[in-house]
Structure 1
């Protein structure tokens, strides 16, 4: 678990499924993800199970983002996720570890993605000792691109996701550059 003033980043619980399902059912949340379509409750349940499998197999994964304060929502609410994954959807950049985030729409614009991602970055470089992180976003996803910039990530390339024809920006940050910036 990782705590900030407003957030708790933690492993997933079975009772988080309704919040995840609601987030993945929102077309606006999903418009830049995969095929751009909302996910069914069954797909959300499979995703949640996969998140826990990734933690067990890799020693890292996606943290549930739980609100610790009543701003911008009720304490204990799961607002989304932030964490680390292997970006298998984009084979040309493998091997790689990706930092990413996704929030339910009521939590957009409150700095939650950046606050959580800063802590995931620290976890990746200082504890998991990942040598380099990438982050991938659709070229039209200005909000995610803004978070990448705030994290100090720089554009590595622009490409297209195979089979999806989605143009994306790939950004990167090395552990060495991150650590130099901390001093």
Structure 2
């Protein structure tokens, strides 16, 4: 468990499956993903997240608000399951329910996940990526101190060539720059 002033980053509980499924089914939250997920797809994703924790000792944490105890989404670290020019790498990512946007929760949670990655896991670099139009996530990356070199941008290999979401921008943060 990792804490910040307003949040707890923790492993998943069975009762988190419902808010996780609602998050993944939201057309607004999944605007820059290929599609919203069905309940079955969401449960399969959560099973993969848990398997990542078991295999690697880290993963995507449930994000819980301290004031309400509500599970509002996730943030954390994972190893992408595809090959790309920047691999091998550890990625930081986040996804929060829309009603929790605009309060700094994504940045707050991601900062703690970065600290965990650099301090506890002794990572040298952490990356993040999204589609160019996803200004909200790109802004979080920039607030975290991550930087982008357009030469690193790539076409996501899990999407068909020419898919409108295939082009991705890559941001990086080296441990020495995170201090």
TM-score by length of 1: 0.90
Secondary structure of the structure 1 residue equivalent to 2:113:
helix
Q: Tell me, yes or no, if structure 1 residue 126 matches structure 2 residue 124.
A: no
Alignment partner, residue 161 of structure 1? 156
Once the two structures are TM-superposed, the CA of residue 31 in structure 1 deviates from its matched residue by 1.6
Q: 1: distance between equivalents of 2:82 and 2:24? A: 18
Q: Tell me, yes or no, if structure 1 residue 14 matches structure 2 residue 14.
A: yes
RMSD: 1.2
Secondary structure of the structure 2 residue equivalent to 1:133:
strand
Alignment partner, residue 139 of structure 2? 146
Alignment partner, residue 5 of structure 2? 5
Alignment of 1:6-155 (within 5 A): 6-33=6-33, 35=34, 37-69=35-67, 75-89=68-82, 91-155=84-148
Structure 1: which 4+ aligned runs deviate by more than 4 Å?
A: none
For the 8 Å contact 1:90–1:161, the answer to whether it is kept is: no
Q: 2: distance between equivalents of 1:112 and 1:89? A: 28
TM-score by length of 2: 0.92
What are the ranges of 5 or more consecutive residues in structure 1 without an aligned counterpart? 70-74
Q: Residues 139 and 89 of structure 1: is their aligned pair in 2 closer, same or farther, counting only changes over 3 Å?
A: farther
Once the two structures are TM-superposed, the CA of residue 176 in structure 1 deviates from its matched residue by 2.4
Q: 2: distance between equivalents of 1:177 and 1:22? A: 36
Q: 1: distance between equivalents of 2:27 and 2:86? A: 28
Q: Residues 90 and 136 of structure 1: is their aligned pair in 2 closer, same or farther, counting only changes over 3 Å?
A: farther
Q: 1: distance between equivalents of 2:154 and 2:84? A: 11
Once the two structures are superposed, residues 2-50 of structure 1 have per-residue CA deviations (whole angstroms, 9 ceiling, x without a partner) of 11121111001111000000000101111212x2x11010011111111
Paired residues, number: 172
Secondary structure of the structure 2 residue equivalent to 1:45:
helix
